[in-house]
């Protein structure tokens, strides 16, 4: 299972919250420049490997850092390298930019769960988000999260288990 998404979406913060790891996080792109992996226990008790990948803006990587994540993003079911699902982390306050990449990943046909991260900042900015409508439009589960406050983690684990 891999955490993928644009730079600065909160992937490493979510990785730390889910695995108990202490990977470096920062409020700027490019903090994660290599893969990190840890263990996540799903709701049914199954342990899975969770991989935190560097941020990228598209399936056509422009830099070496972005290419690190490409095998996870484009592997097809049955020819998998680390798991069966992609957790696409999107910044709720910057949905337009982040959803472009999410749509590319969903189009691959791999199992996807969208972690709608930083919903607290979106709400602070006056944005009204409806994860149920977004899930219906995208055709995949959407779980609101605030990784740095560990909000939405149980719901995310549930979506990943199902």
In the numeric block, which tokens belong to residue 25? 């996080």
- Overall CATH class of domain 2-161: alpha beta
Region class of 84: left (phi > 0), else alpha (psi between -120 and 50), else beta: alpha
Rounded to an integer, what is the distance from CA 145 to the centroid of its chain?
10
**Per-residue pLDDT tens digits for 32-67:** 446 678 998 888 888 999 998 888 887 776 554 444
In the three-class reduction of DSSP (H, G, I as helix; E, B as strand; rest coil), residue 85 is classed as: coil
**Per-residue pLDDT tens digits for 52-107:** 888 888 777 655 444 444 445 444 333 333 446 899 999 999 998 899 999 999 99
Question: Which runs of E-coded beta strand occur in the chain?
Answer: 2-4, 36-41, 47-52, 86-91, 112-117, 142-145
What Rg value do the Cα atoms of the chain yield, rounded?
A: 14
Q: Give the whole-angstrom CA distance, residue 115 versus residue 143.
A: 5
Q: Percent of the chain, pLDDT > 90?
A: 56
Domain boundaries, the chain: 2-161
Cβ atoms of residues 51 and 39 within 8 Å = no
Predicted confidence (pLDDT) at residue 28 exceeds the cutoff of 80:
no
Q: What does pTM read for this prediction?
A: 0.82
Cβ atoms of residues 87 and 113 within 8 Å = yes
So what's the pLDDT on residue 35? 66
Within the chain, how many helices (H) and strands (E) appear?
6, 6
Name every residue whose Cβ is closer than 8 Å to that of residue 67 and which is 6 or more positions away in sequence.
61
């Amino acid at each position: 299972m891999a955490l993928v998404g644009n730079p600065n979406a909160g992937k490493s913060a979510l990785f730390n919250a889910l695995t108990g790891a202490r990977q470096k996080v920062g409020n700027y792109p490019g903090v994660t420049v290599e893969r990190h992996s840890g263990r996540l226990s799903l709701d049914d008790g199954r342990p899975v490997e969770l991989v935190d990948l560097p941020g990228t803006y598209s399936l056509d990587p422009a830099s070496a850092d972005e290419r690190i994540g490409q095998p996870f993003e484009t592997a097809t079911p049955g020819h998998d390298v680390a798991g069966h699902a992609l957790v696409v982390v999107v910044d709720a306050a910057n949905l337009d930019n982040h959803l472009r990449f999410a749509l590319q990943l969903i189009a691959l046909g791999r199992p996807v769960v969208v972690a709608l991260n930083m919903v607290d900042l979106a709400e602070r900015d006056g944005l009204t988000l409806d994860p149920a409508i977004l899930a219906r439009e995208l055709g995949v589960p959407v779980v609101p999260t605030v990784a740095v406050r560990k909000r939405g983690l149980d719901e995310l684990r549930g979506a990943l288990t199902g």
